[in-house]
Amino acid sequence: MSNTVSHTVFFDGACEPVNPGGVATWGIVVYKDNNLIHTDCGIAGNPFSSISTNNFAEYSALIKAIEYCFRESIKRILVKGDSQLAIKQMTGEYSVRSAYILPLYIKASGYIKKFETIIFEWIPRKENKEADRLSKKAYTDYITSINPVDIVLPFGRFKGRTIFWVKKHRPQYIEWLANQTWPSPELKKILHSVEQLDLNTVP
């Protein structure tokens, strides 16, 4: 197997506004000879579900990056990410103990033999800014695309209830959430819009 690579792939995953249980997202960036040739981002799994975690998002990003290269017949790649867990599991330094991560690990591992060269390299987050930006963009795009009254609270006292239900039955909790520092700007915007919602106008 040759150690020379033709393409460098960056991947990153995130889970917002809380981990676990938020919206798991992924972002990938592909370069050839220092020239950007491909970017993409999206949602990993079902939003606000039990499998929505940072690790699930990171593995989803890794798989998306490898799948793109395979589809494009790119055979010699360097894969870079800031997830120490994913990178070290792919290099065999860490074992895989999570039942929900194992299928993703097996899927990613299955691609290794399909490449002439595939090298995994951990990098610090500051060197992964573009993939990180894309993973956050996927979250923003998702949150701004859905009806606020349909969003399920994945955290806190009323976990599993829609934001609309909480507004209707426990409006003080919505006000409290909107004033916390940890929700993302996109979620804060939704919470503030729900605060101002006239329940008489919503079916």
Of 100 and 88, more confident: 88
Q: Domain limits of the chain?
A: 7-144, 147-201
Q: Which amino acid is at 127?
A: E
Number of neighbouring beta carbons within 10 Å of residue 3: 8
Contact 25, 64 (CB under 8 A): no
Average pLDDT over residues 71-78: 96
Q: Average pLDDT of 33-46?
A: 95
Distances (CA, A) of 69 to 31, 42, 49: 11, 17, 29
Rounded percentage of the chain residues whose pLDDT exceeds 90: 58
What is this structure's pTM? 0.83
Pick from 13-22, 103-112, 137-146, 178-187: least confident:
178-187
> Which pLDDT value is given to residue 160?
79
* Residue range 7-144 in CATH 3.30.420.10: yes
Per-residue DSSP letter, 156: S
